[in-house]
A and B are shown apart, each in its own frame.
Chain A
Amino acid sequence: MKNMRVRRLIAVWTAKIVSTVCRLSGRQGVTLAGRIALKIDPRILADLSSMVREKIFVVCGTNGKTTTNNLLCSAIESEGKKLVCNHTGSNMLAGVAAAFVLAAGNNGKLDADYACIEIDEASTLRIFPHFKPDYMVLTNLFRDQLDRYGEIDITMDILDRAMKMAPEMTVIVNGDDALAAYLAMKSGNPYRTYGISEQVFKEQGGHEIREGRFCKNCGARLEYEFYHYSQIGKYRCPKCDFARPEIDFDASHIDMSKGLSFEVEGRRIEADYRGFYNIYNILAAYSAVRTAGLPLDKFADVLRTFNPQNGRMEQFVISGTHIVLNLAKNPAGFNQNISAVMEDEKPKDIIIVINDNAQDGTDISWLWDVDFDRFAQEDIRSITVSGIRCQDMRLRMKYVDISSEMIADVKSAIEARIRDGCGNLYVLVNYTALFSTRNILLGLQKGGKP
């Protein structure tokens, strides 16, 4: 017993030292700290998570995990609760372990009321043996990093098994996504749904890539009353009884003319963000808070002060140029990003940074599933392609007859557009480009002129 406590102490201390050293040398180091802690004490995640006094939330789904989870954290924290959260988005086993270990005190104990943890879908089966969450938010399922995860069917199979490992976990699911909803409905777990029952967009993008057009239950082609984007919308199967479930938390009166605004359960929710998809992120966090029976008195304040600060629509001002940095790592996410950029009607320059490191997915064929032709607009003043696979990105633009300038080095690309751009710059990056690009922007912002 005593031996085990000593192990845990050593694991916590070592992880903290590793994390600090990494941070001082300008690296993230969270994953490394977690990996080392688990090596020293394989039970550390199980032990620390069992010390959470109230509930454990996990957030899964292809897109929107980090924003939803951070919103959920802020909402719970605003009520004066203490919590554990993997804010950095390190969401595999080591990253999740690190979140708990680095939150623990030097006595090796955790002082937390709640835990809000985003989890990479494929990692659920490795993490759930350590703890069984009370709630899982499931945002959506899109094609993402096919080389790592394989097809969506494989991800769905993994999530199905994960839900069965935690049969008492309540699933809070996006009912507008036929794939996610199907999983929750057939899991046998208790579930609550959120969604948008009114049609928001008149135009229904005809060629957008849509997943799961065919009923997972019987194989018939699903019928849609309307789409919100990708396969997200109001659907039913014409053959079997599978259909969009009753929506418990239904957003209505959607207004995107000034930021985002909608009503749910008679409450008006307003946020000064862009991007239709953020309605889902806010709605998911809202539904999680409500499902857990937590108070919502300060939710409006939370939204007002919420600044993602992690490359999700993060804003910078450098030498008079207004810059928005946003992560876009798969077709559905990128298409939503393009919509968000187009909501800004001012002239703008765009930089697209594409890497193909292991964490990005080494297969970048998904670029061709993104509707880049929508960038053929007058208010787009220039497009610059950058990053490891800038050549592929340049070709992608060429084949929709849009010319782009290629500057492989990200810093040079940003500096060039600050120097000669129109003062309104969007930087869209995929996963591994996010951290480095953000550091470049922070550096330029701090250091003044490029």
Chain B
Amino acid sequence: MKITIGHLYPDLLNLYGDRGNIQCMKKRCEWRGIEAEVREFQLTDPIDFANLDIVLLGGGSDREQMLVCERLKTIQKDFRGYVEDNGVVIAVCGGYQLLGHYYDTDNGRIEGLSLVDLYTEQGSPRLISNIVIENELFDYPIVGFENHGGRTYIGDNQPLGKVKFGYGNNGTDGMEGVLYKNIVGTYLHGPLLPKNPHVCDYLIGSALKRKYGKAELAPLDDSQELEANRYIVERFC
């Protein structure tokens, strides 16, 4: 078995240890004997979504996001087709905002991909904190760090989790992130996946299921991962 991970624009969207998310997916495949290929796409590279199983869209500064957003317009249709075909996407911070219709900043509007019915508005102050969220879908809480000026509103979409500690999407409605088809959008970095192996395996499992019709993930010894996860939960909740 093999999965191909597409890392979109790592030169521009690489702010908060996003490399760790790639590394985590790659290792957790390899440790199970699943081949994992990582393909990096630079801003002008054509993207063949048909050959990708997981797409990672990371975080960048507002300025860099503006550069990316110009390019995204040209791949919007292909990206949408991939999402509607249950393609797996993990979008973090700036990448999460780009999933939606737009991000209104003090310096103008950043047009998004409109892959998910959500939007973001700049607010003040920035929401900076360790964060713990919960979702019945997962056996363990999801922990991370958030640092965002944008307030995201996901409407009737499902959130990734309920905020137990921290701010979440907008600091007011108690929700964090979004789940839509096989998209996971979230403000959590830290990076997200190493301390949340359950989320990482959820992504890998979804990708395998889509590609091979079934996903049997051999269990790994996650004692160190879960210990690090528990440390954050116990310290802040």
The interface of chain A, by Cβ under 8 A from chain B, is 143, 146-147, 150-153, 207, 209-210, 213-214, 219, 221, 362-369, 391-392, 394-396, 398-401
Pairs A–B under 8 Å by Cβ, sample size 7 = A152-B61, A210-B11, A214-B67, A364-B145, A365-B191, A367-B17, A367-B20
Partner-binding segment picked from B45-53, B98-106, B210-218, B222-230: B222-230
The interface of chain B, by Cβ under 8 A from chain A, is 11-12, 14-20, 23-24, 27, 43, 61-64, 67, 126, 128, 130, 145, 147, 189-191, 194-195, 224-225, 227-228, 231
A395 touches B228 (CB 8 A): yes
B15 touches A395 (CB 8 A): no
With beta carbons under 8 angstroms apart, the residue of A207, A221, A366, A391 that contacts B228 is A391
A365 touches B20 (CB 8 A): yes
CA distance A368 to B21 in the complex (A): 9
Q: How far is the CB of B220 from chain A (nearest CB, A)?
A: 11
With beta carbons under 8 angstroms apart, the residue of A150, A153, A210, A368 that contacts B20 is A368
Q: How far is the CB of A214 from chain B (nearest CB, A)?
A: 7
Considering only CB atoms, which chain A residue lies closest to B145 in the complex?
A363
CA distance A221 to B19 in the complex (A): 21
With beta carbons under 8 angstroms apart, the residue of B15, B224, B228 that contacts A151 is B15
Q: A368-B17, A368-B20 are contacts. A214–B189 as well, Cβ < 8 Å? A: no
CA distance A145 to B62 in the complex (A): 17
B195 touches A395 (CB 8 A): yes
B27 touches A209 (CB 8 A): no
Give the residue among A219, A221, A363, A394 with the most B Cβ atoms within 10 A.
A363
Q: How far is the CB of B60 from chain A (nearest CB, A)?
A: 8
CA distance A368 to B193 in the complex (A): 11
B16 touches A146 (CB 8 A): yes
CA distance A326 to B195 in the complex (A): 27
Considering only CB atoms, which chain B residue lies closest to A404 in the complex?
B224
CA distance A399 to B29 in the complex (A): 12
B61 touches A153 (CB 8 A): yes
A395 touches B194 (CB 8 A): yes
CA distance A113 to B125 in the complex (A): 43
CA distance A367 to B190 in the complex (A): 9
CA distance A366 to B67 in the complex (A): 23
B231 touches A391 (CB 8 A): yes
With beta carbons under 8 angstroms apart, the residue of B12, B16, B20, B27 that contacts A214 is B12
Q: How far is the CB of A250 from chain B (nearest CB, A)?
A: 29
A399 touches B126 (CB 8 A): no
A150 touches B19 (CB 8 A): no
Residues of chain B contacted by A400 (CB below 8 angstroms): 23
A399 touches B17 (CB 8 A): no
Q: A391-B224, A391-B228 are contacts. A153–B62 as well, Cβ < 8 Å? A: yes
CA distance A207 to B14 in the complex (A): 12
Residues of chain A contacted by B24 (CB below 8 angstroms): 399
CA distance A153 to B191 in the complex (A): 21
Give the residue among A362, A365, A392, A395 with the most B Cβ atoms within 10 A.
A365
With beta carbons under 8 angstroms apart, the residue of A150, A366, A369 that contacts B126 is A150
Residues of chain B contacted by A147 (CB below 8 angstroms): 128, 145, 147
Residues of chain B contacted by A209 (CB below 8 angstroms): 14, 19
3 cross-chain pairs, A with B, having the tightest CB-CB distances, nearest first: A368-B20, A368-B17, A365-B17
Considering only CB atoms, which chain B residue lies closest to A331 in the complex?
B17
CA distance A10 to B127 in the complex (A): 41
A365 touches B189 (CB 8 A): yes
CA distance A147 to B224 in the complex (A): 26
B27 touches A399 (CB 8 A): yes
A365 touches B61 (CB 8 A): no
Considering only CB atoms, which chain B residue lies closest to A143 in the complex?
B15
Q: How far is the CB of B66 from chain A (nearest CB, A)?
A: 9
Residues of chain B contacted by A152 (CB below 8 angstroms): 61
Q: How far is the CB of A88 from chain B (nearest CB, A)?
A: 27
A368 touches B23 (CB 8 A): yes
B17 touches A369 (CB 8 A): yes
CA distance A151 to B61 in the complex (A): 6
CA distance A348 to B225 in the complex (A): 27
Residues of chain A contacted by B63 (CB below 8 angstroms): 151, 153
CA distance A147 to B227 in the complex (A): 24
CA distance A210 to B194 in the complex (A): 23
Considering only CB atoms, which chain A residue lies closest to B230 in the complex?
A391
CA distance A392 to B24 in the complex (A): 13
A392 touches B224 (CB 8 A): no
CA distance A207 to B19 in the complex (A): 10
B224 touches A219 (CB 8 A): no
Residues of chain B contacted by A221 (CB below 8 angstroms): 11, 43
Q: A153-B63, A362-B130, A399-B20 are contacts. A146–B27 as well, Cβ < 8 Å? A: no
Residues of chain A contacted by B23 (CB below 8 angstroms): 368, 399-400
Q: How far is the CB of A200 from chain B (nearest CB, A)?
A: 24
Q: A151-B61, A219-B67, A392-B195 are contacts. A366–B27 as well, Cβ < 8 Å? A: no
CA distance A396 to B190 in the complex (A): 11
Q: How far is the CB of B85 from chain A (nearest CB, A)?
A: 30
B67 touches A394 (CB 8 A): no
Q: How far is the CB of B13 from chain A (nearest CB, A)?
A: 12
Q: A147-B147, A219-B67 are contacts. A368–B27 as well, Cβ < 8 Å? A: no
With beta carbons under 8 angstroms apart, the residue of A210, A365, A398 that contacts B145 is A365
Q: How far is the CB of B153 from chain A (nearest CB, A)?
A: 23
Q: How far is the CB of B40 from chain A (nearest CB, A)?
A: 9
CA distance A401 to B43 in the complex (A): 31
CA distance A339 to B126 in the complex (A): 35
CA distance A293 to B99 in the complex (A): 56
Give the residue among A366, A367, A399, A400 with the most B Cβ atoms within 10 A.
A399
Residues of chain B contacted by A366 (CB below 8 angstroms): 16-17
Residues of chain B contacted by A210 (CB below 8 angstroms): 11
4 extra A-B contacts, CB within 8 A, seeds A369-B14, A398-B224: A366-B17, A367-B20, A399-B27, A399-B194
